[in-house]
């Protein structure tokens, strides 16, 4: 069973500008108990913007829940791109076991790439969405085997230079797992189950699969709010079944932004501002958000897994907070929701983020 340990993740605090309604970063240095009235404000905002289910935990305990009729803590929901974070953690476990390296060339396994510029793509670049592979999913979705099809995805930018959010990098990583790590006859689904899901008692309600029966690495999981929150607590302070400390898993590497996009690590969104001189359009950098930062002025250690339908897993280690939100995809602001939850006030700049 997963239980919480002392918080271990330390993040460099970006320079935030204080406003009359957003606490200065120093306020986040100590845990702030969540107030029921603020939880209700956040829940009301979530409902008004397409929210279907909301579970708020602090220090490992559910303190507020809000569900539309037909939803509960045990109701499965698609998490779409939230699935990527599970495979990012799986990658870290395999790195710890010496079975993968983040700086490993993908072409060591995907030998088809040795013939062209894709030969230099690394595992890190696949998982951080900086591989330069075309993010267009039409060819992938049309293929009966989307893992194999990802190997044929073309390169549109030099690896490591630009951020392109999409399915290709994770599906290609799935093909690497299938060729290099899986035992004979073992599926990628079985591999992630043996490596991560079973050791941490994480029950996947169902998977979306391609026509060949492969689970979708980039967006295939259906989870209950309880299970996604359990995974959030694992990200905050896990107790691995092996007894090793999470730092030994190289987990900190997931939380490092990249030059092409400082707000995305390995399979996880970070509360980092964009560089003012960045030339790449924000719609390319932050497709899951509606502006330039997850929560301007908020806790610098805030991280998030995000689904295309505005599904959210927020984790704030310094506050002991885990939040799961399910939605049908209506317009929504992360900063507005989180500001109401943590401060009881609307965000002063919600229309731009």
Q: What is the pLDDT of residues 21-64, one digit of tens each?
A: 445 467 888 889 999 999 999 999 999 999 999 999 999 999 99
Q: Report which DSSP code applies to 142.
A: H
Contact 311, 290 (CB under 8 A): no
Q: For residue 253, what pLDDT is reported?
A: 83
Percent of the chain with pLDDT over 90: 71
Which pLDDT score, from 0 to 100, does residue 290 have? Answer: 55
**Contact present, 129 and 90 (Cβ < 8 Å):** no
Classify domain 25-352 at the CATH class level: alpha beta
293-319: pLDDT as tens digits: 889 889 999 999 999 999 999 999 999
Lowest-pLDDT choice from 32-41, 57-66, 157-166, 343-352: 343-352
Average pLDDT across the chain, whole number: 86
**Sequence ranges of the domains in the chain:** 25-352
Nearest to 81 by CA among 318, 306, 323, 309: 306
Coil/strand/helix, residue 70: coil
- pLDDT, residue 29, reads 85
Closest by alpha carbon to 143, among 164, 168, 106, 165?
Answer: 168
């Amino acid at each position: 069973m997963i239980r919480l340990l002392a918080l271990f993740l330390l993040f460099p605090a970006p320079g935030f500008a204080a406003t009359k309604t957003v606490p200065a970063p120093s306020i986040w240095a100590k845990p702030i108990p969540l107030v029921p009235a603020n939880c209700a404000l956040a829940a009301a905002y979530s409902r008004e913007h397409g929210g279907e289910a909301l579970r708020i935990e602090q220090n490992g305990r559910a303190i507020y829940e809000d569900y539309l009729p037909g939803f509960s803590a045990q109701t499965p929901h698609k998490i779409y791109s939230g699935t990527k974070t599970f495979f990012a953690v799986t990658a870290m476990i395999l790195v710890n076991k010496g079975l993968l390296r983040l700086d490993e060339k993908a072409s060591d396994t995907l030998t088809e790439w040795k013939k062209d510029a894709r030969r230099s793509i690394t595992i890190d670049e696949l998982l951080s969405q900086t591989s330069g592979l075309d993010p267009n999913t039409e060819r992938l979705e049309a293929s009966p085997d989307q893992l194999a099809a990802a190997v044929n995805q073309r390169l549109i930018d030099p690896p490591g230079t630009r951020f392109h959010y999409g399915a290709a990098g994770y599906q290609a990583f799935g093909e690497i797992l299938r060729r290099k790590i899986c035992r004979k006859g073992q599926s990628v689904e079985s591999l992630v189950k043996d490596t991560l899901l079973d050791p941490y008692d994480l029950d996947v309600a169902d998977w979306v699969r391609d026509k060949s029966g492969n689970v979708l690495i980039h967006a295939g999981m259906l989870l209950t709010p309880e299970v996604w929150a359990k995974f959030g607590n694992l990200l905050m302070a896990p107790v691995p079944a092996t007894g090793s400390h999470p730092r030994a898993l190289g987990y900190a590497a997931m939380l490092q932004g990249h030059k092409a996009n400082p707000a995305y690590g390995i399979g996880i969104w970070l509360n980092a501002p964009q560089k003012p001189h960045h030339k790449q359009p924000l719609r390319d950098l932050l497709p899951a958000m509606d502006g330039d930062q997850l929560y301007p002025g908020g806790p610098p250690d805030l991280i998030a897994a995000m689904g295309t339908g505005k599904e959210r897993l927020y984790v704030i280690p310094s506050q002991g907070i885990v939040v799961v939100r399910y939605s049908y995809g209506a317009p929504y602001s992360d900063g507005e929701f989180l500001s109401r939850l943590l401060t009881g006030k609307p965000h002063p700049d919600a229309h731009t983020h």
